[in-house]
Structure 1
């Protein structure tokens, strides 16, 4: 997708979401390349600052205009809709530009949401179920998985929790062993597709026709699944993405080992913070993360990231992990 010449935008970190939304009130902005500056900070934008701005925007937007656990769908309380509902068209515009500039689709958004915006018709039940299990809380996920795997093993307390889960989400029928999968899929379709449908329509309005014709309409269901699954980070995938020289000196091999051990100890939020530090994005970079080595000591011994090239420089002076 070809974009027009650069447009400069200045962002205040303390008001990032408001500034980004204001910038994208211009319908033509997403037809251009960007040159981003953060107010009060020096640095040229060779792509890293643009990625950082969009990454931070989607983190904030996922809390303010979406809901869900590991994946989200658009949602705001009804009392906010009349005043803020139209903002979803701007959010759709930002989604289109994110894909054009970074070649990624924000991994916070459920695949079902992207499919519902791009395609018409029913969504693959496998998509719905996988997304729904990521959408609910970890405790709910364990309960639903056990119910689908072997309903007969549920205790009375677990069955009561399952009934409450169904009731709270609008399915008043008591869960039944022979219907549990269909019942969960019914909830998934209602929560991930039908309830947010008006938000999907508003977001779709924000995607320029040129973007739709050159990118979104070219996607298939398999494309969406491959793109979003490949970009969704896990500790194992991040470690596998690390690239370094084949012939390492002993001190470099030790530093590389310590880096991998450090990553193995991160929780999900910490892992996302690591990716933002190194790549300015929460999406796993397609070309991986390059690791190089420097011989810094003392207070200079700290990792240095180059987000434009997804490069991490680590010191070889560590003798023990984190020391």
Structure 2
């Protein structure tokens, strides 16, 4: 039976192939008759079986023997190309159905010959189905263990009883159920490498270090986060028994009242196997606000981007002792605002403990003392706005920054950036503007490559993974860059921002379009505008077909057609993006009325950069020679290298008006290299170059490497 069906399939396939070839000929003949091609030419092509698949293989000279008219040949070539691009026909679908039927019949034939094993296979399938049905009410989760040590929570390695475990739990499991499961895994028999169960204050957090609510279930968390796999962390911290004793001796009534409040607080969890154990010390988490990123990219691991700040009232003396366990004096930055490490723990089972890096320096013994009231008062007077630290990963700036700015109220807070290198180490840089400018430059360079189309000017292109929220986030980044550092994405076509900001276009559409298309297309278009008859018409028609032109261009209508195509490419196609940016760019309407002029000011030129550079007032002969080398290098550099030079010195690849201060060093040999400090816009140049080509070669090597590590604070 299988052999007969197999032969029948090939017979039908052969018959259908002949039928569809005839069908192709009929369609081509009808198309030629619509163009009033002589009937004898059409019959001649039919006799020699010249269908659309054959014509695509022919040259213009070969087709001239059948179609003398040049216009008919161009039209037929275009018709055949369109037919080749058509989706799968009914013929292919029929073949797929026959193949599927053949494979099913083959399977039936095998099962009949092997009927003795059928009961065993049926039994195995039944067991598998039963297991699947039993697991419908369960979901997979990951559980890790972080322990409080030396002023911060760090994940415990696998060899010390930690690591990350995968478990199946019921969908209706709550926080208490998950804590019990985690205790069984990481504190078996009530003990582990860090101590006994009764020595710890225990809590459970999600992947963003948020303390879980009591009533929320695993099912609700999956529906809320849309993540493929949830991760939880059991947090443990040893209790300060000495402080408990002193507290009881000094104020027993207050201790009793605190004990009652502790048991009434839903966000405090203490597990103990000994019912007679001392009442636990309260660790408050209600005054710590975790600001996490939303799940913009459902398939991406974004738990590494999180923000954390405190809302402790600095004037409330009674709350000072309660928050003593939450921070230390050593965690305060120069601005006087309390900041904490903000990088969440992700993929820790594959990394070592060294990959967990704090954002602050090591805490000294003195830093463990509680902060004074004067210090808190000074902080409150200095700044009322909450300050955040955003941790990003080098090479993932595009996606992570879009996640951060997806929060609508993100612009209401002050924040600085920290960057983690690909090797997991934190860049040794303090964000005093330079890190922020460098992040903006990397973001927009990645954005141009991954989210736009065009040559000189770029136009945002629609992506299936970019919706309303993502494009609004990009709009906030534009607003943020201009307000903080006067940075605009100047490679975006100015008509995009004009339409989004003003609701109309000020710049010339055609000029912007000519900078959008490729260099070869621009040459053809400009030639048509000056001398239409002198342009290769075949090449022009191919280009117009690429841009979906529906009319035959002539000398009279070419300018109008060019304006229509420019409006389609620059305004109509990115209309959805422009609509989302209309509201997010509203704060810039009063500042950016002449966008074309702003673009011109931000473009780097050698003259602008040389005027912004400041040299020492007194210079020796070597230093004067280096000044000449720098001026010569800037004059002969193209726009790309001028942008790289600015980013190397200031962090920004645009000219934002920053003054670059130059100093000279005596570095020689292998240590000789230019050194830049982007926060203060300082450039250190060795004076040991014997010739200008040596300086130019070394500077180009540094700029073209595109591997710059901020390792100087």
Q: TM-score range by the shorter chain?
A: 0.7 to 0.9
Partner of 2:499: 116
The equivalences for 1:288-303 within 5 A come to 288-303=659-674
CA distance in 1 between partners of 2:535 and 2:466 (Å): 44
Counterpart check, 1:154 vs 2:534: yes
**Which of 589, 595, 599 pairs up with 1:217?**
589
Superposed CA deviations along residues 22-49 of structure 1, whole A, max 9, x for unmatched, are 2112222223332111122121110110
CA distance in 1 between partners of 2:569 and 2:513 (Å): 8
Q: Greater CA deviation, 308-317 or 66-75?
A: 308-317
Partner of 1:49: 435
Give 1:173 deviation, angstroms.
2.2
Counterpart check, 1:136 vs 2:514: no
Partner of 1:279: 650
Partner of 2:641: 270
Partner of 1:104: 487
CA distance in 2 between partners of 1:75 and 1:177 (Å): 31
Superposed CA deviations along residues 240-289 of structure 1, whole A, max 9, x for unmatched, are 55444576543223212222333345444433332221221121122454
CA distance in 1 between partners of 2:387 and 2:403 (Å): 18
| C-alpha contact (below 8 Å) 1:72/1:110 kept by paired residues | yes
Which secondary structure state, in structure 2, belongs to the residue aligned with residue 177 of structure 1?
coil
Counterpart check, 1:127 vs 2:498: no
Q: CA 1:313/1:162 → structure 2, altered by over 3 Å: closer, same or farther?
A: farther
Counterpart check, 1:252 vs 2:623: yes
Partner of 1:191: 569
Name the structure where helix makes up a greater proportion of residues: 1
Give 1:153 deviation, angstroms.
7.0
Partner of 1:32: 413
Partner of 2:597: 226
Q: CA 1:255/1:169 → structure 2, altered by over 3 Å: closer, same or farther?
A: same
Q: CA 1:244/1:119 → structure 2, altered by over 3 Å: closer, same or farther?
A: same
| C-alpha contact (below 8 Å) 1:111/1:127 kept by paired residues | no
Superposed CA deviations along residues 59-98 of structure 1, whole A, max 9, x for unmatched, are 1112222221222121135xx1xx4222111111111111
TM-score between the two structures when normalised by the length of structure 2? 0.40
- Matched length: 306
Q: CA 1:241/1:74 → structure 2, altered by over 3 Å: closer, same or farther?
A: same
Q: CA 1:140/1:258 → structure 2, altered by over 3 Å: closer, same or farther?
A: farther
Q: CA 1:110/1:6 → structure 2, altered by over 3 Å: closer, same or farther?
A: farther
| C-alpha contact (below 8 Å) 1:30/1:96 kept by paired residues | no
| C-alpha contact (below 8 Å) 1:69/1:136 kept by paired residues | yes
CA distance in 2 between partners of 1:171 and 1:246 (Å): 62
Partner of 1:166: 544
Q: CA 1:258/1:189 → structure 2, altered by over 3 Å: closer, same or farther?
A: same
Give 1:184 deviation, angstroms.
2.1
CA distance in 1 between partners of 2:476 and 2:400 (Å): 14
Superposed CA deviations along residues 174-199 of structure 1, whole A, max 9, x for unmatched, are 33334433332222211111211111
**Which of 428, 431, 445 pairs up with 1:59?**
445
**Which of 682, 685, 692 pairs up with 1:314?**
685
Which secondary structure state, in structure 2, belongs to the residue aligned with residue 14 of structure 1?
coil
CA distance in 2 between partners of 1:162 and 1:243 (Å): 51
CA distance in 2 between partners of 1:322 and 1:5 (Å): 51
| C-alpha contact (below 8 Å) 2:613/2:662 kept by paired residues | yes
Aligned Cα root-mean-square deviation (Å): 2.6
Find the structure with the greater CA-based Rg. Answer: 2
CA distance in 2 between partners of 1:253 and 1:288 (Å): 19
Give 1:152 deviation, angstroms.
4.6
Partner of 1:84: 466
CA distance in 2 between partners of 1:288 and 1:177 (Å): 51
Partner of 1:23: 404
Give 1:111 deviation, angstroms.
0.9
Which secondary structure state, in structure 1, belongs to the residue aligned with residue 395 of structure 2?
helix
Which secondary structure state, in structure 1, belongs to the residue aligned with residue 508 of structure 2?
helix
Q: Greater CA deviation, 226-235 or 289-298?
A: 289-298
Q: CA 1:84/1:295 → structure 2, altered by over 3 Å: closer, same or farther?
A: same
| C-alpha contact (below 8 Å) 1:233/1:283 kept by paired residues | yes
| C-alpha contact (below 8 Å) 1:7/1:29 kept by paired residues | no
Partner of 2:122: none
TM-score between the two structures when normalised by the length of structure 1? 0.84
Superposed CA deviations along residues 289-309 of structure 1, whole A, max 9, x for unmatched, are 443333332233211112123
Partner of 1:182: 560
CA distance in 1 between partners of 2:523 and 2:583 (Å): 37
Q: CA 1:260/1:165 → structure 2, altered by over 3 Å: closer, same or farther?
A: farther
Q: CA 1:228/1:307 → structure 2, altered by over 3 Å: closer, same or farther?
A: same
Give 1:4 deviation, angstroms.
4.4
Q: Greater CA deviation, 235-244 or 62-71?
A: 235-244
Which secondary structure state, in structure 2, belongs to the residue aligned with residue 63 of structure 1?
helix
Q: Greater CA deviation, 307-316 or 43-52?
A: 307-316
| C-alpha contact (below 8 Å) 2:406/2:472 kept by paired residues | no
